[in-house]
Amino acid sequence: MRPLRTPIALALGVVLGTGVSLTYGVLADKSNANKPDALPLRDMQTFVEILNRVKSDYVEPVSDDALLEDAMRGMLAGLDPHSSYLNKEEFAEINVQTSGRFGGLGIEVQQFNGFVKVIAPIDDTPAARAGIQPGDLIIKIDDAPVKGMSLTEAVKKMRGEPGTKIVLTVAREGANEPLIFDMKRDIIAVSSVRSRMLEPGIAYLRVTTFSSSTGKGLADEFRKLKKAAPEGKLKGMVLDLRNNPGGVLNAAVEVTDAFIEKGTIVSIKGRVSDANREYNATPGDLLDGKPLVVLVNGGSASASEIVAGALQDHRRATVIGTRSFGKGSVQTIIPLGQGNGALRLTTARYFTPSGRSIQARGITPDIEILQEVPEELKARDNARGEASLRGHLKAEGQEETGSQSYVPPDPKNDKALQLALDLMRGVQKNSAYPANPRATPN
């Protein structure tokens, strides 16, 4: 495994309670084919006319800054669900997230129909302990309605000094009335990797998000696991990527590289040639070829899908669970000058080692298994998936919508985890396990 010096790209959503690293810089392509056309002057004149009319005739005064920011947001919102304009405060917020330490609740969120939607609570945080669930809509923060707030405003309200109290009012599909959660903020210093021994010789490693420290975290946790194993030897490992919404591209490359010896991990292809890249594995396998199972579900997105897809294509791991989210695009953060915020722009699609695009399709597991979902959660269990997002990039082939995202809190009731254990114990047999690396793409 090698230190990564290539640019870093951002994956899904805005994150509350975890750190992300981003690509900084402009993608430059000197070919004439990619030079933008001349500005449409007539349309620009129409835009200026509308701007002046709003400034002079709108019922209340509106500042130039507000109008121009809204115009930029509208332009980017029309491209796809993941491109957006980041003002100075939002850009600073992303940089704060990179540090990974602040007072908050530990919720990954995104804007949805004027409300704030929970992507997933982060393990062992106030939100997770209180019972916040993926798909919950936050409709009030303390006494303030969320409707009409920007995502940045909502995030700011949920953050604060550790130990201070906060009340979230949540709309949950299937619930007859809003749910109220009383919580105390805590230091959110999220470790994106956690591990434990499932039984002697069989390790469990969970990656909750992909941050700039995930690769190091995985190596640290793996050393602990080997130390805890009988005679320091592992018989196999379960890598749990369920409800992991993604994060830093390079972290996904590092995690994949930890388990494969050679070949392509992921390739990225954009309209601008400078966006095209291929990431390759380097010698070294932490598990020394021992069996590996990867768990995914409808909440596994972007960077999670890069890892699952690469390990699946290289036949290094058996993928178990339900079809993943299907986000196969890469966003680049481009600063717009001192104090001017940044542009988050979808610049490329990524492809698995075999050339698959998972955009709006997802990763199909080698062994599909559904969980027993409690009756009160059945109405909202399926993650909607990339294909259901308005304006998403179209798939290359048949699109697939969401799949099951529920993970039982008690491991004994976790059918996917128990199947992985039974396969490693030899109690159950399946042609997909163990994976056969001899059928590997170059």
Which entry of 80, 136, 300, 327 is annotated as an active-site residue? 327
**274 labelled catalytic:** no
| Helices (H), ranges, 206-328 | 214-228, 249-257, 303-313
The DSSP 8-state label assigned to residue 161 in this structure reads: S
Tell me how far apart the alpha carbons of residues 419 and 322 are, in angstroms, rounded to a whole number. Answer: 13
Q: Is 65 known to be catalytic?
A: no
How far apart are the C-alpha atoms of 25 and 279, rounded to whole Å? Answer: 19
CA 334 to chain centroid? 19
HSE-CB of 290 using CA atoms within 13 angstroms: 16
- The span from the CA of 328 to the CA of 81, in Å, is 12
Tokens of 199: 């039984």
Catalytic residue check, 140: no
The token duo for 130 is 């209180």
Tell me the angle at which helices 249-257 and 303-313 cross, rounded to the nearest 10 degrees: 30
The token pair that represents 324 in the structure block: 């993943």
The strand ranges marked E within 250-389 are: 264-269, 277-280, 292-296, 318-321, 329-335, 342-351, 367-368
Cα–Cα distance between 327 and 249 in angstroms, integer?
13
- The active-site residue out of 136, 257, 313, 414 is 313
Q: Which of 83, 84, 212, 302 is the catalytic position?
A: 302
The Cβ-side half-sphere exposure at 437, using a 13 Å CA radius, reads: 15
The DSSP secondary-structure symbol of 48 reads H
Half-sphere exposure of 413 (CA within 13 A, CB side): 9
Q: How many CB atoms lie under 10 A from the CB of residue 26?
A: 12
Report, as residue numbers or ranges, the catalytic residues.
302, 313, 327
